Amino acid sequence: MNPHPATTFGERFAWRCEESPYPVCVGLDPRLDEIPAVIRGHALGSAGTRADALREAITHFHKLVIEAAADLVPAVKLQLAFYEQYGVPGMLAFCDTIAAARRAGLLVIADGKRNDIASTATAYARAFLGVVDVFGEPTPAFDADALTVNPYLGWDSLVPFAEIAAQHGKGLFLLVHTSNPSSAELQEAVVEGEPVFLRVARLVAKLEGEFFPPRETGSVGAIVGCTFPHAAASIRSTIPHAPIVVVGYGAQAGKLAGCKACFTADDRGAAVNASRSLTYGWTTAPTSDQELVESIRARVTRMGEDLLGALATGASPLPRTRA
């Protein structure tokens, strides 16, 4: 796949979604005990230490997932907590996985839900989206394409992320309405006549307008749970040009109606994330790399076809090439 000469994350997101058969984002959440035994066994037999074996098992597993899905989907979302739980070897595997996804042409979303006071927010933004000065040399640390950000510290904490993302052609996804059942306790609380999640959605639009050049698809997006279809529809109408990563599908039993609500009227602008339902939960564990690739590819295809079917219901079909 030829690279797109886009200058903003929003342009790259829109282009990758157009080029990919399915509007799916593959979530990568390393769980060592659920990685197939054939991969864990090979890593233990070939690595010098348990730390090396841990890194090798996660890295190799995710390389196979990327191989299976790279020509089907626009992006992968790496859940940082699952890498961080394994310490340094886990974070080295995080770097390995980003490199593999980039080689495959996939967008990389670092899901860390980061934020703090402005100075700390700047450090987070530099780590994942920008560069740091290393003895006079500007050096990227993790170099993701986008980062998930917690907006609940307010405007001044979001500005450093927007400034650094805009400077380096990267993107942000603010937590607007999450998929967990109790999220409504705070996110749907009404403040001055509107729910909190819509106030956050307006921050998405404000950041886009103040820090990024005008584009058909913005570079500041939203994390939206398909488990709350009513909220998803309100969010999409409030930020019609923002990219949305839809969460809660698959293992969290989110519904297709909630997914569809996150797309624009012409069925664009969103990618539906699934993690465990695509990469774990084997009835019969794969016994070879090829079997694993084929199994994950089949799961991604099945999910993608379900989404295309839902999007096409009552609307024009997506102008995509089916796998």
322 domain-assigned:
no
Residue whose entry in the numeric block shows the structure tokens 């959605």: 201
Which residues, in sequence order, are CB contacts of 147 under 8 Å at separation 6+? Answer: 109, 110, 112, 114, 124, 125, 128, 129, 161, 165, 170, 171, 172, 173
Q: Got the DSSP string for 239-293?
A: STTS-EEEESBGGG-B-HHHHHTTS-TTS-SEEEEESHHHHS--SS---SHHHHH
Which residues, in sequence order, are CB contacts of 314 under 8 Å at separation 6+? Answer: none
Q: Which residue among the candidates 63, 77, 113, 260 is catalytic per the annotation?
A: 113
261 domain-assigned:
yes
**DSSP tag of 12:** H
Collapsing DSSP to helix, strand or coil, 170 comes out as coil
pLDDT at res. 321: 37
pLDDT at res. 164: 98
Residue whose entry in the numeric block shows the structure tokens 């749907």: 188
User: How many structural domains compose the chain?
Assistant: 1
- Mean pLDDT for back-to-back runs of 10 residues, the chain (323 residues): 71 97 98 96 94 98 98 98 98 98 98 96 98 97 98 97 98 97 95 96 98 96 96 97 94 75 95 96 93 97 95 54 36
4 domain-assigned:
no
pLDDT at res. 254: 59
317 domain-assigned:
no
2 domain-assigned:
no
pLDDT at res. 28: 98
* Distance between CA atoms of residues 212 and 221, nearest Å: 12
pLDDT at res. 7: 84
| Spatial contact of 174 and 151, defined as CB atoms under 8 Å apart | yes
260 is catalytic: no
* Distance between CA atoms of residues 220 and 205, nearest Å: 8
Residue 69, φ and ψ in degrees, nearest 5: -110, -10
Tokens encoding 207: 């950041």
Host domain of residue 299 = 9-312
Neighbours of 18 (CB within 10 A): 14
pLDDT at res. 216: 94
Q: Indicate the residue type of 286.
A: P
pLDDT at res. 315: 43
13 domain-assigned:
yes
Q: Got the DSSP string for 70-126?
A: TTT-SEEEEEHHHHHTTHHHHHHHHHHHHHHHHHTT-EEEEEEEE--SHHHHHHHHH
* Distance between CA atoms of residues 199 and 184, nearest Å: 14
319 domain-assigned:
no
Residue 19 CA: distances (Å) to CA of 69, 113, 277, 304: 13, 28, 24, 14
| Spatial contact of 102 and 140, defined as CB atoms under 8 Å apart | no
3 domain-assigned:
no
The CATH number that applies at residue 282 is 3.20.20.70
Strand partners, 137: 134
Altogether, the residues listed in the chain come to a count of 323
